[in-house]
Structure 1
Amino acid sequence: MSTPELSYAGVPLREPVHFIGIGGVGMSGVARVMVARGVRVSGSDAKELPVMRELETQGAHIEVGYAEEHLGEAGTVVAGSAIRADNPELMAAREAEVPVLHRSQALAALMGGDRVVTVAGTHGKTTTTSMITVLLKGIGLDPSFAIGAAVPALGVNAASGTDDIFVAEADESDGSFLNYAPKIAVVTNVEADHLDYYGTADAVFQAFDDFAALLPADGLLVVCADDDGAAALAERVAARGRTRVLRYGAADKAELRLLGTVEEPSVRIGEQEFPLRLAVPGRHNQLNALAALGVALELGVNAEDALGALAAFQGAARRFELKGEERGVRVYDDYAHHPTEVRAALSAARSVAGEHRLHVLFQPHLFSRTREFAQEFAESLKLADTAVVLDIYPAREDPIEGVTSELITAHLGSMPSQPGRPALDALLRTAEAGDVVLTVGAGDVTAYGQQILDALRAGAHG
């Protein structure tokens, strides 16, 4: 049967909608919203994941493994950028001329006539999207949302709400953030990244210009005035005069002005100044909070109510997430995988560590990114007292000759560092009560947090 209320680019989505790679955080989020709205959903993934069983209990039909027969009677297929062209289900869909949508296109179809808030940026997207959603729910609204990580305060990373607001993280890594039609667009920062897709920094900057151009005449671009790339984007958009621009940050041009110290921040809105109280550390999170505040104000939320709701935000999964504490050593985990993100995560960790030491376990993500930013990663890691650099997590890439983690450690100079996985024991031997251990990266380095806590509990550090 057709689903006329769901369409992309004027073409209705037909049921059942089949998700190839349904276990991924982004794919499962879109599937979750579809199931909640009564759409018949099926899906598959290479291995069984907990979220697949959750979706099954909600009515989705899920298979483990990829096979042509799993496609069934699918009327529409959804696949993300990670799905290879030779995937048997994708090949079968194309042969049968079943419409194939990117995950972002399926998400855009769900947005319908909602007031859409999309959050883009080289980094900070997940935290900012989470802050906006938690803020809106904190003042009694019920938005739909799709976020790139689970948020403890929300219980899930995506849900269908009852209000006409849809908040979504907009991923620029593959250009798919251009598939949305936002009413409010946030840009946290604009830097060269994902050059494996874009090729040049100029192409990255042009993509963000194209993203801002998606806004209607009565839309709003909320942009960080403290980031050079984002500030330049704001200037270009403002010069065209087609869309309103709201800047936030400590810069003079910011209409939402960040004041005070990192320890005691405040925000000026017009002629009024309000304290900014957050449960998450770091200047970058203060900026993210101002972005969320800007969105809330545009949606008609009272400033004091918005700031009160932001104070309750406890973070998102893998965004400076406290994994636990053993023998006085606190272990945090962060998804940072770009030099600027790593620097922000380490700055936050340094503020938490205080006079104690900061030990970092860093896993580079992608061979191409390591090649492009080896020196910048090293400079960021120098904020730590000790740094362990693991082997590169390849994700979707094949190895590049001559590109290893040692490209980073070679720039660390006299700082204690060690490439490779056996370095875990060395880190444990140096960690003492009061110290902070931070696992950093977008790969499987996150698993080390629990291993470190288990080892500390067993007394392996001594």
Structure 2
Amino acid sequence: MDRKLHVHFMGIGGSGMAPIAVIAKKSGFQVSGCDYCESSYYSDALNESGIDIKIGHSSDHLEGVDILAVTPAVFDINPNHPEIIEGRNKNILMTWQEFMGKYLQKDKFVVAVAGTHGKSTTTVLTGLALEAGGLDPIVEAGTIYRPWGGGFRISESKYFVCEADEFNCNFLNYSPSLIIINNIEMDHPEFFKDFNDFKGAFKKFISNMKHPGTLIVNEESQGIREVLAEMKDWLQENRVKVIGYYLKDKFDFPFNGEYRAEINSFAEDGAYFEVSGPNLKESFKLGLLGAHNVSNSLGVLCAAIELGVSLENLKEVFQQYKGIGRRTELVGEVNNIKVFDDYGHHPTAIAAVLDTFKTTYPDKKIYAVVEPHQISRLKLFPKEFIGALNKADEAIVTKTYVGREINKNLEPVDMNSLISKVDDGKAAYIEDFSEVADTITLKAKEGDIIIVFGAGNSHKLTKLIVERLKNR
């Protein structure tokens, strides 16, 4: 077409859609969007890009539009909305992931970061590593990286680094040349019927690689071990270069290369570790806390070495990296009480963050404030959820964020019964955000740490707690 394609993003304020809308605008597409909410956590970048955003949804928005890009969640929340029906009738409807794969990643060398946990943190760090190596990548991540002003990096490079989400099999829209998989652990029970179904999606994703591709995996993940074993013949027949990384537990597999990290120490400013691998033995400092982040950084290191980034550049990037928005982000410090916001909503992620804080701050009292994310996840992992809460000194659980399950009529979890199973009665269930903020404000003392977990509206609660601490 001679004219620019007009792409309209329905739900443009979402974590994944916002960066893609900006990348599309910078790539020459005519971009508009709409959202129920006037502002979201990701709105600033959209506003600075000058994108026309309408409040609310209407089929009138589609006049002159060539592509209607939506979040897959809308098919659960409101599949019969007039805007969706009109888009389907005009044959212009697709998910934003489909748009990214079909249009933005066309003819690119795609580096895709997948896994149940740590995708956004790893995606941004991969982008920074490639940037330091002079590869000038385009980057898309469902987060905010403050120096970039959003979850995106714009360029005209052939390299495109993206976060590859397994929900709805979204990542099957991509054909990457290099894949990093941090871990494979059951999630999204509202979409996948069981763990075999979940693993099957990752196997299809790997099969989508451009050949010969490079697959970089955390060999300590049990789910990854199972996928490698089941795909061993296919990987060898298709000459896929498989590189493994680990901290402690090596997996017996014919890897083309392996890298191991040995953690020397943790400090408040990050982690110190040594990496050994093919013709390599080097010391690194990572500006993030936690063994899980050291593991994730190993995947980045493998990818960067494969793409020719020097170790000197990598060391500098790792040391300077302080993380992304809503991933153990220090939102405020009032009277020596630190308040962190964290996107963790799977019990494994919550437990990993709490373990990290208990190790780094052994003499501090750690409060966990948790907004559970979706009823089906709570029902799938009740014991794991209780186990994660037990790692805090005290915990407050607030109302479950239902999200895309809103129309599924699921029987809610009896939260008081669930919370009663936490050790020593150290957890409480409080639905109202204002009451949560009042309660935690009265409890917290100088030197304490408050971590607010959730992927729904919990970021609003984090800010409310900081405000109450300032005003008390």
State whether TM-score is above 0.5. Answer: yes
Amino acid at match of 1:166: F
- Give the structure 1 partner of residue 138 of structure 2: 144
C-alpha distance in 1 between matches for 2:360 and 2:87: 51
Contact 2:185 2:223 (8 Å CA) reproduced: yes
2:208 to 201, 208, 214: 214
Give the root-mean-square deviation of aligned CA atoms.
Answer: 2.0
- Give the structure 2 partner of residue 455 of structure 1: 468
Say if 2:72 is the partner of 1:81: yes
Say if 2:178 is the partner of 1:180: no
- Give the structure 2 partner of residue 247 of structure 1: 244
Query: Which one is further off, 226-235 or 46-55?
Result: 46-55
C-alpha distance in 1 between matches for 2:371 and 2:208: 35
State the 1:380 CA deviation.
Answer: 1.2
Say if 2:319 is the partner of 1:311: yes
C-alpha distance in 2 between matches for 1:55 and 1:162: 20
Query: Which one is further off, 395-404 or 329-338?
Result: 395-404
C-alpha distance in 2 between matches for 1:57 and 1:444: 23
- Give CA-to-partner distance per residue, 1:411-450, whole Å, 9 cap, x none: 2031411001334433333322222110011111222222
C-alpha distance in 1 between matches for 2:20 and 2:35: 15
Contact 1:223 1:230 (8 Å CA) reproduced: yes
Say if 2:100 is the partner of 1:98: no
| TM-score, length of structure 1 as denominator length | 0.92
Say if 2:239 is the partner of 1:258: no
Contact 2:6 2:67 (8 Å CA) reproduced: yes
1:352/1:249 CA distance change after superposition, 3 Å: same
State the 1:65 CA deviation.
Answer: 1.2
Map 1:48-447; keep pairs closer than 5 Å: 48-49=38-39, 55=46, 58-83=49-74, 84-95=78-89, 97-108=90-101, 109-240=103-234, 241=236, 242=238, 243-250=240-247, 251-253=249-251, 255-263=258-266, 264-398=272-406, 400-420=410-430, 421=432, 422-447=435-460
Contact 2:133 2:310 (8 Å CA) reproduced: no
- Give the structure 1 partner of residue 254 of structure 2: none
* Structure 1: gaps (5+ residues): 4-13
C-alpha distance in 2 between matches for 1:169 and 1:293: 17
1:416/1:305 CA distance change after superposition, 3 Å: same
Amino acid at match of 1:174: N
1:53/1:16 CA distance change after superposition, 3 Å: farther
Q: What SS class does the counterpart of residue 79 from structure 2 fall into?
A: coil
Contact 1:320 1:332 (8 Å CA) reproduced: yes
State the 1:45 CA deviation.
Answer: 1.4
Query: Which one is further off, 177-186 or 49-58?
Result: 49-58
1:435/1:138 CA distance change after superposition, 3 Å: farther
- Give CA-to-partner distance per residue, 1:267-309, whole Å, 9 cap, x none: 1122432112011100010011111111111111122321321
2:26 to 25, 32, 36: 36
Q: What SS class does the counterpart of residue 455 from structure 2 fall into?
A: coil
1:177/1:45 CA distance change after superposition, 3 Å: same
Query: Which one is further off, 208-217 or 109-118?
Result: 208-217
Amino acid at match of 1:31: A
1:332/1:406 CA distance change after superposition, 3 Å: same
Amino acid at match of 2:218: C
| TM-score, length of structure 2 as denominator length | 0.90
Residues paired across the two proteins, number = 448
C-alpha distance in 1 between matches for 2:295 and 2:338: 25
State the 1:374 CA deviation.
Answer: 1.5
Amino acid at match of 2:384: E
- Give the structure 2 partner of residue 7 of structure 1: none
- Give the structure 1 partner of residue 269 of structure 2: none
1:52/1:364 CA distance change after superposition, 3 Å: closer
2:35 to 12, 26, 45: 45
- Give CA-to-partner distance per residue, 1:108-159, whole Å, 9 cap, x none: 1201111100111111111110111122223443210110101123222123
1:20 to 5, 10, 32: 10
